[in-house]
Homo-oligomer: A and B are copies of this chain.
């Protein structure tokens, strides 16, 4: 068993397609096939079932994946520790964020970049579900999101600010003057909501469910700027954390009178893995900014 083989296996498992996996690994399909076979021989059990042109994981493969991933990750951690040790600061940050938190991420990136100009930063926007998935595949360093109701044991949550869910309306609309709205009011409005997978959406669904209300959801999208543009037309309304639209000139947020609509924003990262210097430094910047209540 070698790390090379584990890396091959992981990619093959994730794509369930040897040809494509081989391409992404920059090796030939033949090589991948042979190496997987060799690994299977050593383990004494097939990791994939081959039915016709398709492959899928065996139970063994499913069990083994977890360990393969962790094994490779430990090796990466070890590598990272030594890179950090030299204080090279030639790092790379992969940040996942939901749209609702860009207003705090953006200044954090600016401040961080001023301190560590050599570090390359990649920002991935997505739903909390997507992002936490990628986090647990070690594809992201950390994720900014409104906290999931379901806390995961293997994840670390550092709270940032909390924000009320609000109804978002266009400034010209008749609603714009109201101080607050009720869930019943909202039920009557044409809504454009973030797609399933967004933590905010999950939250909204649960709130309505609990009050036995059935809102008119005309439209859903996974692109929040689009959503805001739609609301800007004056026809639709949406529901988002108040902070999401804090710097949108043409929109207003109207508090919702309801039991609990307070959402907690947090930094989500993994326990039990090495936290590189760059990540630590970024957290510091983020928490600092948060204290200064930039939102």
Using a CB–CB cutoff of 8 Å, the interface residues on chain A facing chain B are 1-4, 6, 43-45, 59-60, 63-64, 66-68, 70-72, 74-75, 77-79, 81-83, 85-86, 272, 274
| A86 near B4: Cβ-Cβ < 8 Å | no
| A45 near B75: Cβ-Cβ < 8 Å | no
* Given contact pairs A63-B78, A64-B81, A64-B82, a sample of 7 additional A-B residue pairs in the complex whose CB atoms are under 8 Å apart: A2-B2, A2-B3, A2-B4, A43-B79, A44-B86, A70-B74, A71-B74
A2-B4, A67-B75 are known contacts. Are A60 and B85 too (CB-CB below 8 A)?
yes
Query: Smallest CB–CB gap between A197 and chain B, Å?
Result: 30
The CA of A63 and the CA of B85, in the complex, are separated in Å by 9
| A85 near B59: Cβ-Cβ < 8 Å | yes
Contacts of A43 in B (CB 8 A): 79, 82
| A71 near B64: Cβ-Cβ < 8 Å | no
| A75 near B71: Cβ-Cβ < 8 Å | yes
Contacts of A85 in B (CB 8 A): 45, 59-60, 63
| B81 near A63: Cβ-Cβ < 8 Å | yes
The CA of A168 and the CA of B11, in the complex, are separated in Å by 62
* A1 touches which of B44, B63, B70, B75 (Cβ 8 Å): B75
Query: Smallest CB–CB gap between A114 and chain B, Å?
Result: 27
| A1 near B272: Cβ-Cβ < 8 Å | no
A-B contacts, 25 listed (Cβ < 8 Å): A1-B75, A2-B3, A3-B3, A3-B71, A45-B82, A45-B85, A45-B86, A59-B85, A60-B82, A60-B85, A63-B78, A63-B81, A63-B85, A64-B81, A66-B78, A67-B77, A67-B78, A67-B81, A67-B274, A68-B78, A71-B71, A71-B74, A71-B75, A74-B74, A272-B272
Contacts of A272 in B (CB 8 A): 272
Give the residue name and chain of the B residue nearest to A61 (CB). B82
The CA of A93 and the CA of B236, in the complex, are separated in Å by 66
Give the residue name and chain of the B residue nearest to A59 (CB). B85
